[in-house]
Amino acid sequence: MPISGRSLTRTICLALIAFIIAFFWANPKAYSYLRYGPTVINGLGAKLLCSGVFVAGRDAEEVFTQDVLTSHALAHYSSFDVNRQTEEAEVSSFGLFSQKAKYNPDFGCSLYHHEAPTFNAPTITEQVGFQWPEDTPSEDIQNILDSIIKENEQKPHIDTRALLVAHQGKIIAEAYAPGYQQDSQFLSWSMAKSVTSSLVGIWLEEHGQNIDQAPGFAEWQNDDRKNIHLRHLLNMASGLAFDESYEPGDNATRMLFFEDNMARYARTAAAEVEAAPGDKFVYSSGTTNILSGWLFDKLGGSENYYRFAQEKLFLPSGIQSAVFEPDASGSFVGSSYLYMTAREWAKFGQLYLQRGKLNGQQIIPEHWVDFAKAPIDAAPKGEYGGQFWLNAGAKDDRSKRMFKDLPTDLYLASGHNGQYVVIIPSRELVMVRLGWSNGERFDLNGHFANILSALDKNEIAAK
């Protein structure tokens, strides 16, 4: 019996549907790209564009070209619009998969999917915080920084934008790429994790509590997650399964560029415990946003969180440029979204260098500084502490460390694209590098080793 044209078409369609289902069943990552890829990439674009324009005061075309298009190949299929009247940025692909971010004064930009969030800054108690004393310029160090900036000409993908070196409490050299200067605001990416840890430490100290307690989330009470303590979250050793491969649709990118409530998403997406708490070091932005959400709940909302961060950490440290951005729910994105100038990132480093004390005021408890830079047993090269990266090295071989030519007491706040606040207590040194490296890493080990060598020569010459 001959097959009719209609039957043949139906058979081909059914076979095609079956093939597509089978393909995506066997390749969940491909489905993830299809389902979340364009939306996540446009979320990234809208967020960077909004903050770049309204927080950092940069040109929209420049932000889109230098930051968004270099972040992912899919961004080249996107277009953008910046509305200066409503203070919003929108990015879409072929007019579809649109994502928007809204600017709020003092709070910066937030992605949103329904109603644009509105945040009101509370009244803040004025404070006289730490200020850098008069600079003591070092010509040798300045020449090194200038040469690093000049490296951009031959290697544009490194894109170093700001460098600063502070020695013995004074700035001895700083340099900026064309288009950037002392008052330019720079995105933290994951350097924000170290700031979030500091805020948690301050709150616990004020309330007489410690890190060996469960956060008490209702959704964790009936499974193995009830055994996770704040310590485990702070040490990135919670045991939670959270995919941070930075592919469109993984847990991290979906959280940062798709979800209105990142802390809630991270708590629920990480539904399984794949290792006993404390046994395995796994870097996770979700972990830090869980902590930030915990602090958000303890403080009672975005306005109180804002006041707490300003009055307890930023202003006493003399940091006046900080813009810590929340998600659409109002909870600060503790893993990633904090803008400050290079000089004020250096103040944060100086705060830790001086064991939590600046301007005569103990801002961060001394024991928290010790906790932050103490290597955890689960980190094989002694590379992580309390939301800070470390250069301690493996217990059995200190040469097995992140930066082979830099001291073992070095620790740092570190972020995507090569954001660094480096603290070296043995050298009374804070070094800052900010930029947008893509495809080629900034040589922190080599460049900063050269700075240390120059300091050694200057100290020998001065004797």
Tens-digit pLDDT profile for residues 198-224? 999 999 999 999 999 999 999 999 999
Which pLDDT band, with edges at 50, 70 and 90, does 5 fall under? low
Residue 96 has a pLDDT of 84
Q: Distance (Å, rounded) from C-alpha 385 to C-alpha 261?
A: 27
- In this model, does residue 31 exceed pLDDT 80? no
CATH of 139-462, one of 3.40.710.10, 3.40.50.1370, 1.20.1580.10, 3.40.50.20: 3.40.710.10
pLDDT tens digit sequence for 362-372 = 999 999 999 99
288, two tokens: 């830090």
- The lowest-confidence range among 10-24, 115-129, 373-387 is 10-24
- In this model, does residue 447 exceed pLDDT 60? yes
Residue 29 has a pLDDT of 53
Q: Report strand pairing: 186-187 vs 323-324.
A: unpaired
Q: Where in the chain is the domain with CATH 3.40.710.10?
A: 139-462
Residue 414 has a pLDDT of 98
pTM value is 0.93
CB atoms within 10 A of CB 204: 18
The SS3 call for residue 420 is: strand
Residue 48 has a pLDDT of 97
- In this model, does residue 26 exceed pLDDT 90? no
Residue 457 has a pLDDT of 83
- In this model, does residue 22 exceed pLDDT 70? no
- In this model, does residue 160 exceed pLDDT 90? yes
Residue 445 has a pLDDT of 97
- In this model, does residue 20 exceed pLDDT 50? no
- In this model, does residue 459 exceed pLDDT 90? no
Which pLDDT band, with edges at 50, 70 and 90, does 6 fall under? low
Strand partners, 79: 92
Residue 11 has a pLDDT of 58
- In this model, does residue 33 exceed pLDDT 60? no
Which pLDDT band, with edges at 50, 70 and 90, does 334 fall under? very high
Residue 347 has a pLDDT of 98
Which pLDDT band, with edges at 50, 70 and 90, does 24 fall under? very low
414, 133 contact by CB (below 8 A): no
- In this model, does residue 59 exceed pLDDT 50? yes
Where are the alpha helices (H) located in 284-401, listed in sequence order? 285-299, 302-309, 342-353, 366-372
- In this model, does residue 97 exceed pLDDT 80? yes
- In this model, does residue 247 exceed pLDDT 90? no
Residue 21 has a pLDDT of 45
Mean pLDDT (the chain) is: 92
Residue 174 has a pLDDT of 98
Which pLDDT band, with edges at 50, 70 and 90, does 462 fall under? low
Which pLDDT band, with edges at 50, 70 and 90, does 38 fall under? confident
Region 295-320 average pLDDT? 97
Region 52-56 average pLDDT? 98
Residue 114 has a pLDDT of 85
Q: What percentage of the chain has pLDDT greater than the value 70?
A: 92
DSSP letter string, 118-180: ---PPP----------S----HHHHHHHHHHHHHHHH-TTT-EEEEEEEETTEEEEEEE-TT-
The residues, any chain, with a CB within 8 Å of residue 315's CB and separated by 6 or more, are 124, 125, 126, 127, 129
Please identify which residue in the block is written with the tokens 């979700």.
286
CB atoms within 10 A of CB 334: 31
109, two tokens: 């930009």
- In this model, does residue 28 exceed pLDDT 60? no
Q: Distance (Å, rounded) from C-alpha 270 to C-alpha 238?
A: 10
Please identify which residue in the block is written with the tokens 């798709």.
258
Region 81-110 average pLDDT? 95
Residue 25 has a pLDDT of 47
50, two tokens: 């909004």
Q: What percentage of the chain has pLDDT greater than the value 90?
A: 81
